[in-house]
């Protein structure tokens, strides 16, 4: 094992060190999120052409696709943090899983709703039971299951650990979502962004899409850092309360 | 190995002594399935179409019934603490408990399913596939369910929580089992679907004990 990596990992297990890092990072990511989402929305709504087949409804893509990407990326990050929490007992990693979960659930929900609104004019149905939609719906329920489990224990630490194990088991759904459009003959279109031959989207649409993806990402980082900080504060208040009540 | 078998026999004996535990899942399975023709009407072609899905959906729900007691009783009276101290690894204990759970819930479903198939007018060609799919699928249900029971051990409102965690993980099994039966009903080969179910079974056998044992250690800490 490399000697440099683990100390770095553990440096930010210290809440104070994390607090200093967060104070430095947060203004930048917040500004970046506002900038990218603002610019992205402008390009997505006004400065990009309507699709030659889909017309104006293609603009739903600029919300649907970033939300879909984030729904999977957040779960992937949660799984990585769960591994760190279980192997190294990294305190902050456990908390990250909990802080990220409601955001991931929200992204998944937005993805499903936006997709449904897009499906009605394009496919003629709010919902079809194809593999991509079904596996994304399962991902939503995995998020909900995690959120219900993590709060169901009297000892918060035990809830975090049980949740981390659940997140790792649920990872089996991620490749199924990603490759569902290749493995099955789905109504949902196959990948056009992350293909071996590069993106197959026209530059005029790729730009707003990329801006929105970046904006969603910066938004996620900002909110997750805020949630982590408030979780650490809540923990300090709890410790302080039990300490004073014992006196 | 002999310790595992003894634990399995011990669990089985406990389940059999509490007769109601044995009857409840299979009675639920039969009753819930028989509600379908009463709900959608007894039209034969419709029932034939619905039969594989209805049998599997109720089988899924029936295995949920006994799950919350899988580790709960041993957890409350301290048996689980002693088992965790025993030389037998916790992973093996999980497997023995899963086996006992399957014999008391999965196996009765296998026996009751053909009768329900008759009453729901399942295609003549589908019975073998129905049984094979249940034979391969219900152990996976028991395994995934054991993981759910382990991870919710010691949680408040365990029962409803358990269903919320486990049902999404049951979905792939339901999909491939019913597609296998559907394929057999249409005269196609159910083999690819059954092979996938078999792969779930093997993968579950290898992976679930570790996940469930990790969850149990967390509960016992």
pLDDT digits (tens, 9 = 90+) for B185-216: 888 888 989 999 999 999 999 999 999 999 99
Alpha-carbon separation of residue A75 from A96, B105, B113, B197 (angstroms):
11, 33, 38, 26
Question: Which of B155, B164, B169 is facing A153, going by the closest CB pair?
Answer: B155
Say whether residue B152 is in contact with chain A using an 8 A CB cutoff: yes
Q: How far apart are CA A48 and CA A208, in angstroms?
A: 8
Residue whose C-alpha is closest to residue A108's, from A81, A83, A132, A82: A132
Question: pLDDT tens across A141-165, in order?
Answer: 999 999 999 988 888 888 899 999 9
CB interface of B with A, residues 76-135, below 8 Å: none
Q: H helices within B41-126, ranges in order?
A: 44-65, 69-76, 79-85, 90-101, 107-119
Q: Which of A5-9, A215-219, B10-14, B100-104 has the highest mean pLDDT?
A: A215-219
Three-state SS for B145-182 is HHHHHHHCCCCCCHHHHHHHHHHHHHHHHHHHHHHHHH
> From A129, which residue of chain B is nearest by alpha-carbon distance?
B175
**What average pLDDT does the segment B105-126 reach?**
89
Contact (Cβ atoms closer than 8 angstroms) between residue A117 and residue A60? yes
Q: Please tell me the predicted confidence (pLDDT) of residue A219.
A: 95
Contact (Cβ atoms closer than 8 angstroms) between residue B66 and residue B105? yes
A148 CB neighbours in chain B (<8 A) are: 161, 164-165
Q: Please tell me the predicted confidence (pLDDT) of residue A2.
A: 47
Nearest C-alpha of chain A: how many angstroms from B36? 22
The domains of chain B are located at: 2-220
Alpha-carbon separation of residue A205 from A43, A69, A118, A187 (angstroms):
9, 17, 17, 22
Question: pLDDT tens across A63-114, in order?
Answer: 999 999 999 999 999 999 999 988 888 888 889 999 999 999 999 999 999 9
């Amino acid at each position: 094992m490399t000697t440099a990596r683990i100390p770095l990992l553990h440096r930010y297990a210290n809440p104070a060190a994390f607090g200093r890092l967060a104070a430095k990072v947060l203004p930048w990511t917040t500004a970046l999120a506002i900038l990218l989402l603002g610019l992205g929305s402008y390009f997505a709504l006004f400065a990009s052409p309507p699709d030659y087949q889909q017309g104006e409804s293609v603009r739903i893509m600029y919300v649907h696709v970033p939300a879909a990407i984030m729904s999977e990326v957040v779960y992937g990050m949660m799984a990585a943090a769960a591994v760190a929490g279980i192997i190294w007992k990294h305190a902050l990693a456990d908390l990250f899983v909990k802080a990220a979960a409601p955001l991931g659930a929200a992204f998944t929900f937005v993805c499903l709703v936006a997709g449904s609104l897009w499906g009605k004019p394009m496919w003629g149905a709010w919902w079809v039971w194809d593999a991509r939609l079904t596996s994304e719906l399962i991902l939503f329920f995995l998020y909900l299951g995690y959120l219900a489990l993590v709060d169901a224990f009297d000892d918060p630490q035990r809830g975090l650990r049980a949740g981390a194990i659940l997140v790792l088991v649920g990872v089996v759904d991620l490749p199924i979502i990603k490759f569902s459009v290749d493995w099955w003959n789905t109504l949902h279109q196959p990948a056009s962004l992350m293909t071996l031959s590069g993106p197959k989207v026209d530059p005029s649409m790729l730009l707003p899409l990329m801006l929105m993806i970046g904006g969603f990402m910066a938004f996620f980082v900002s909110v997750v850092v805020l949630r982590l900080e408030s979780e650490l504060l809540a923990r300090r208040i709890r410790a302080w309360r039990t300490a004073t009540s014992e006196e | 190995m002999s310790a595992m078998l003894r634990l399995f026999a011990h669990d089985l004996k406990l389940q059999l002594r509490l007769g109601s535990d044995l009857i409840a899942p299979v009675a639920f399975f039969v009753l819930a399935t028989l509600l379908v023709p009463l709900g959608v009407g007894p039209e034969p072609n419709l029932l034939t179409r619905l039969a594989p899905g209805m049998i599997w959906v109720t089988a899924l729900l029936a295995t949920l019934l006994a799950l919350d007691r899988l580790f709960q009783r041993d957890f409350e009276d301290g048996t689980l603490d002693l088992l965790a101290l025993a030389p037998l690894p916790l992973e093996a204990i999980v497997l023995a408990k899963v086996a006992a759970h399957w014999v008391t819930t999965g196996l009765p479903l296998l026996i009751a399913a053909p009768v329900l198939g008759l009453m729901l007018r399942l295609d003549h060609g589908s019975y073998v596939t129905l049984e094979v799919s249940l034979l391969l699928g219900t152990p996976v249900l028991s395994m995934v369910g054991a993981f759910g029971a382990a991870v919710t051990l010691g949680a408040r409102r365990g029962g409803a929580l358990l269903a919320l965690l486990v049902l999404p993980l049951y979905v792939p099994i339901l999909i491939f089992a019913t597609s296998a039966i559907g394929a057999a009903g249409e005269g196609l080969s159910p083999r690819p679907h059954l092979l996938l179910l078999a792969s779930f079974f093997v993968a579950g056998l290898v992976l679930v004990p570790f996940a469930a044992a990790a969850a149990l250690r967390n509960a016992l800490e």
